[in-house]
Amino acid sequence: MSTPRWLNPEEQAAWRAYLLSNQLLDEALDRQLQRDAGMPHAYYWILVALSEAPDRTMRMSDLARRLRYSQSRLTHAVTSMERRGWVTRDRCPSDGRGLLAALTAEGMRTLVETAPGHVEEVRSRVFDRLTPEQVTQLKEICELIQDGLDPL
């Protein structure tokens, strides 16, 4: 058995700072969206993904893959969002097996109304605290981490 490659003190401090900042940011963004729009952050990301899709429609399996959600997590969220009138689900006309999720006009209106407050929260919590150079570094660091993690 090989010897573990323990983190040195600098790496340990960076790792813990990353984990805590990620958790705190997720909580802050979720609170803002709950307060301003009555939705969790996960629902906001579904609305965004559908708004960017051709015809504002995606196969449920593709949507789950894009957002890195399990099928059951996505199904639960979309069911709730259907009740609110934000999305619809229909059988895929080309094969009849898959389900398509589509953003409704009400869902798009909700996204348009919610986006400014959400962007302001992201800006104030993250980007207003960074220099332009740090923004570039953050992007590069996150892309490097993603390259080692993302199978897609």
pLDDT given for residue 97 in this prediction: 78
pLDDT given for residue 151 in this prediction: 64
pLDDT tier at 152 (50, 70, 90 boundaries)?
low
Encode pLDDT of 65-95 as tens digits.
999 999 999 999 999 999 999 999 999 887 7
- What is the identity of the amino acid at 130? L
For domain 10-149, give the fold. Answer: Arc Repressor Mutant, subunit A (1.10.10)
pLDDT given for residue 9 in this prediction: 96
pLDDT tier at 128 (50, 70, 90 boundaries)?
very high
Using CB atoms within 10 A of its CB, is residue 88 exposed (0-12), middle (13-18) or buried (19+)? middle
Domain residue spans of the chain: 10-149
pLDDT given for residue 110 in this prediction: 97
DSSP 8-state assignment for residue 85: T
More confidently predicted of 26 and 148: 26
DSSP 95-114: TSSSEEEEE-HHHHHHHHHH
In a 3-state reduction of DSSP, which class is residue 91? strand
Task: Over range 42-68, report the average pLDDT.
Answer: 96
